[in-house]
Amino acid sequence: MKGTLAVVGLGPGSAELTTPAVSRALAEATDLVGYTTYLDRVPLAANGQRRHASDNRVEIERARHALTLAAEGNKVVIVSSGDPGVFAMAAAVFEALEGGPSAWRVLDIRIEPGVSAMLAAAAHAGAPLGGDFCAISLSDNLKAWATIVRRLEAAAYGDFVIALYNPASRARPHQLGDALAVLRGLKAHDTPVVFVRAAGTSDVTMRIERLGWADPAHADMRTLVLIGSSRTRVIKCGGAMRWVYTPRSERDMP
């Protein structure tokens, strides 16, 4: 039996946001590999499927383990949250593939996309990504803080809408405050900043603030932070800020 490896994204949380393609891959797998928290979101299959749960920090080892299982002839699925290609497991699989035995290169590998946290957070806020946008992870586990600062500067120069992944964690409490300080020196202080926590789940909450006084303490590990371009606008409903959107056009509205 020829082994297969699918790297799938469950979407941001609700089963209603998991694509049928991903659900089918999960149901047909003989082996599921992933971070415990994500595996716990997968319904139990009837076929005696094996589950290989691991800690969140060992991505490359997990990828090698999954490739080894596939090379043994199993139908392996690596489970990511959101989309597997956005700050998730797909890149680790190709790192492992490139550095691994040549036999791995004949495996049937596919990536099954999912709704990313950024898209779910943007949908909850309205349409903040209506113009050109960028996504930056504030985690400096894998890259230098200087790289992050350079990207924030570039994003401001290009007037992109900015989606910040991994804005804060217990190990990195200062990142978001430092990033907002960089952006305050480069962008208008009334630029909308949206904190969306637990996007795509029934626990979702949102705060709309402004860059000049946005409080980084409002973000945690489950928060996605969206920072507007110069065109991004806030709409009030019943006196309260409810929607954030970026017009498609640079020109005045019709």
* Binding positions for a copy of itself, 28-47, rule CB under 8 A: none
Binding of a copy of itself at residue 103 (CB under 8 A)? no
Is residue 12 within 8 A of residue 200, CB to CB? The reply is: yes
| CA–CA gap between residue 221 and residue 58 (Å, rounded) | 18
Binding of a copy of itself at residue 134 (CB under 8 A)? yes
Binding of a copy of itself at residue 188 (CB under 8 A)? no
Binding of a copy of itself at residue 74 (CB under 8 A)? no
Q: Provide, rounded to whole angstroms, the least separation between the CB of residue 137 and a copy of itself.
A: 6
User: Quick one: 7 or 168, whose CB is closer to a copy of itself?
Assistant: 7
**Binding test (CB under 8 A) with a copy of itself, winner from 3, 13, 34, 126:** 126
Binding of a copy of itself at residue 243 (CB under 8 A)? yes
Q: Which position has the token pair 């910040």? A: 164
Query: What residues contact 131, with CB distance under 8 A and at least 6 apart?
Result: 160, 161, 229, 231, 246, 247, 248
Is residue 215 within 8 A of residue 182, CB to CB? The reply is: no
User: Quick one: 185 or 238, whose CB is closer to a copy of itself?
Assistant: 238
Query: What residues contact 126, with CB distance under 8 A and at least 6 apart?
Result: 235, 242, 243, 244, 245
**Which residues, 145 to 174, sit near a copy of itself by CB under 8 A?**
147, 150-151, 153-155, 157-160
